[in-house]
Structure 1
Amino acid sequence: MKNIFTKIAAIAATSTALSVAIAAGANNPAQAVDLNFNWQGNAGYSAVGSFSYDEAIAPTIISESGSGATNFLQSLNVSFLDPSKNLLGTYNTVSAGVSESDFLAFNFDTSTQKLFGPLDIAGGTGVIGEYFFQGTVGESLQLRQDVDQQGTSITLDQNSGSIQVSKVPEPASMLGLLAFAALGVGSSLKKKQASC
């Protein structure tokens, strides 16, 4: 009987925490949308990153270019990995709504959650040897490395323009999953005790 009360108390605590989190979200709705992206080149190099924008003010199409204050992007970062998954470099192209790259090109459709058109991220800070990722989504995307800051670069890898974008789960969604997991564990324990 003591185990049943412990389970009920655990489920009640989880439900209460979930209710508080949902109520807090309703009173102070999250407006930032966080998304991840990943790219895989034909030779095994890859790019992984994330970006965010304020959904309350963002239009259907977000287009950003050049350095300075961005219109809608709040952050944009990317890391590049070689075929052995060794880190080549990490770049915070946009931080706190400011682009560090003169060459930034970024186009995103908020309704389809897809990148499109010209893309140029990372690099652009004037350091010899820096990496950058550029091309046209759906046509050709390349991971390149600067050689001399005079416009000379080498292509390390490329693909047909394929890049994946996925939305980062919201904290309330994660709490909901935890609550369901707790109920599942409680149910499994109950079945196990009943069979003993």
Structure 2
Amino acid sequence: MKSFFSLAAAQVAPSLALCATSIVASTNLAQAADLTFNWKGDAGYSASGSFSYDETTTPAIISESGAGATKALQSLNISFFNPSQQLIATKDEVVNSVSSNQFFEFNFDTTTGNLFGAFDVGTGSRIGDVFLSNVEAPGRIFISPGATSYLYQNITADYSQLLDSSTNQIKASAVSEPTNILGTLVVGILGIALSSNKITFFSRKPKKIYRSYASKV
């Protein structure tokens, strides 16, 4: 005679199998890679953001520059915070694979997961806009991508104020995917149900610089 537990396992197994199949199918359909990035200035200002791209079509190296249709990025947003961790500005830099920033610079190695080279994100022409750049030094000087990143805020249509700077690396990290975790859990439970006759219960300082927006130097 079959025990209650073996009968329960037999009834649960088909449902779990269907659930696992659905999760695997939905995971395969979602091919977008989602990542976050963070930066911290020496004076306490900080920036954090996220970006995404299609893993099936994106090359190993992502290089974006200027406004208009992007080559690989589907989205990118960034937020800026003062030393008290209060939000001072936020911007959707790339929306639906289109950049709205003529000064936009972004380079990412999908193989190593590292940002590299030129980085200029958050720039806008409106008063109060904030941007983070490693290609523009104080004094309105465009330079080759360097180790120092500068944080600015537009105070007039023609002037920007230096808020902070740092040689701290802008770090990117992958966002965990709940569907993958759930799928692993379901498959694990399914294995238990199929291989056992019993169900196991378990617990679960400011400086003004000139910046022109007419054209990019």
Tell me which interval the TM-score lies in, with the shorter structure as reference length. Answer: 0.7 to 0.9
Gaps of 5+ in 1: 190-196
1:106-145 map, 5 Å: 106-124=106-124, 126-135=125-134, 139-145=147-153
Gaps of 5+ in 2: 136-144, 193-199, 205-217
Distance verdict in 2 for CA 1:188–1:104, change over 3 Å: closer
The residue type paired with residue 70 of structure 1 is T
Distance verdict in 2 for CA 1:149–1:186, change over 3 Å: farther
Instruction: Determine whether 1:147 maps to 2:155.
Output: yes
Inter-partner Cα distance in structure 2 for 1:168 and 1:8: 34
Q: Deviations over 1:91-125 (max 9, x none)?
A: 0010001111111000111111111011001122x
Shift of 1:172: 2.5
Inter-partner Cα distance in structure 2 for 1:65 and 1:96: 16
The residue type paired with residue 53 of structure 2 is Y
Inter-partner Cα distance in structure 2 for 1:88 and 1:178: 40
Inter-partner Cα distance in structure 2 for 1:16 and 1:61: 38
Which is greater in Rg? Answer: 2
Q: Deviations over 1:142-189 (max 9, x none)?
A: 211112222x222211110411111112233231465579x9x93349
Distance verdict in 2 for CA 1:16–1:105, change over 3 Å: same
Q: Percent same amino acid at aligned positions?
A: 44
Aligned pair partner of 1:174 in 169, 173, 181: 181
The answer to which structure, 1 or 2, has the higher relative contact order (CA under 8 A, 6+ apart) is 2
1:2-17 map, 5 Å: 16-17=18-19
- Aligned residue-pair number: 183
Inter-partner Cα distance in structure 1 for 2:19 and 2:45: 42
Instruction: Determine whether 1:187 maps to 2:195.
Output: no
Shift of 1:20: 2.0
Instruction: Determine whether 1:98 maps to 2:98.
Output: yes
Inter-partner Cα distance in structure 1 for 2:73 and 2:146: 22
What's 2:164 paired with?
157
Q: Deviations over 1:37-78 (max 9, x none)?
A: 111111111111000111122111111111111111110100
CA RMSD, 1 decimal: 3.0
